[in-house]
Amino acid sequence: MITRVLNCITGLNVGGAEYMLARFVNELRGTDYLPEVMSLMSPGPVAALLRANNVPIHALDMHTSMTSLRALTRLRSVMAATPSDLLHGWMYHGNLAASAAALMGASQPVIWSVHHSLDEIKREKPLTRFIIRLQARLSKMTSAISYCSSTAAAQHEALGFDASKRVIIPNGIDCEAFRPLPNARERIRAELNIPPERLVIGNVARAHPMKNHEGFVRILAQLRTQGFDVHGLIIGEGHSDGAARRLARDMDLEDRLTTPGPRSDVASLLPGFDVFVLSSAWGEAFPLSVAEAMACGVPVVATDIGDCAWLIGDHDLISRPGDPEAQAQVVASLFSQSAEARSRRGLAGRKRVEQRFSLRQYRDAHMCLYEAALEERRRSGSNNAWRRIGA
């Protein structure tokens, strides 16, 4: 029997949760689950991936994250025209939309997904803080709350999210798409005009204070001071004259930092990195870019936020947030090793992703969660199912 699932998400711009949604619904092809997507804002670039797989998209065309009467009217129309058996929210605003849609529909089971960690809630925007606290009060009405990180789960439960609804489903990686590629180092240097002898430290993320790309540049500077011939590469939106670019100019490192903007071919670029560096200061839960780099056989150095330490599985590669000097030392220790030793470390990371964080595991865990919610609904006639998966 076909089960229709309406996935509610804030938008479809470039981001980890947005890509996970697109890849997840593609994996549902051939199963008994028929996904559709509702974007609160006008669809962004990730919508193309959904359309390529014939996934219907409904957009409320909200211009900001603020709710409007027009958006509520449009939501009601979508629910009337889109029969669904289950509602799956993605990120804070998408979670609220899924709960609102249930009230306008047939009180379908609602599952929330949380893709953000909360080291300090005061760092969030006022509206986001309000929505988080509101969701804490509403959380008992869900069938389940899926977290991609156990750290994020504990942080949200400390703010009042119903702990009985906790489900841990780490992000999943397509290890066929993200894999080591022969001659990747040579290709990336030729394409981006990076001198072939330089060691490339890379990062993939949009420009945002929580990503701490200024810290990334300071790591680059520290390595240069120690005598390493390094080059920084940051792939993502907003860097053409962002904080990293400005700091690189101030530190006389402009010719050592490349910022090509967002790229759709990240899977072919990542294998050309010598080391991937996640310099984020807060907000990460289970960073997709870290797992993708690992799948490509690239050693990863990261700050100790979210589930990064568990994801990487090697505490020697983890340092505290906001300490670029300490993180530079970790990178220096890798560069002091032979290329063969770094390669072995990278391939060990790929094996870890294949064994623990595959896209197929991600899909299967969600299908179990869906079935639990639907079965509880059939059994009790209420929207209160939950199941803990893989905690």
Q: How does pLDDT run across 167-226, given as a tens digit for each residue?
A: 999 999 999 999 999 999 999 999 999 999 999 999 999 999 999 999 999 999 999 999
* Closest listed residue to residue 308, CA positions, set 338, 286, 330, 334: 286
Any idea which residue has 């010598």 for tokens?
274
Question: What's the DSSP call for residue 255?
Answer: G
Give pLDDT tens digits for 27-68: 999 999 999 999 999 999 999 999 999 999 999 988 765 556
pLDDT in tens, 307-345: 999 999 999 999 999 999 999 999 999 999 999 999 999
Residue 51 sits in a domain whose CATH number is: 3.40.50.2000
Closest to 118 in 3D by CA, of 162, 157, 145: 157
Cα separation, 15 vs 115, whole angstroms: 11
Closest CA to 158 of 150, 169, 146, 170: 150
Residue 154 forms part of a structural domain? yes
Six-digit token pair at 209?
Answer: 């204070």
The verdict on 92 and 218 lying in the same domain is no
List phi, psi (to 5°) of 93.
-65, -35
Reduced to 3 states, what is the DSSP secondary structure of residue 257? strand
If asked whether residues 347 and 264 sit together in one domain, one would say yes
Q: What's the burial of 231, exposed, middle or buried (CB within 10 Å: 0-12/13-18/19+)? A: buried
Domain count, the chain: 2
Asked if the structure places residue 311 within a domain, the reply is: yes
**Among the listed residues 320, 350, 327, 301, the one whose alpha carbon sits nearest the alpha carbon of residue 202:** 301
Q: Give domain status of residue 59, yes or no.
A: yes
Say if residue 196 is in the same domain as residue 257: yes
Based on the fold, state whether residues 97 and 236 are members of the same structural domain: no
Domain that holds residue 191: 184-356
Residue 388 lies in a domain: no
CA end-to-end span of the chain, whole Å? 29
Confidence band of 114 (pLDDT split at 50, 70, 90): very high
The verdict on residue 159 lying in a domain is yes
* Per-residue pLDDT, 89: 97
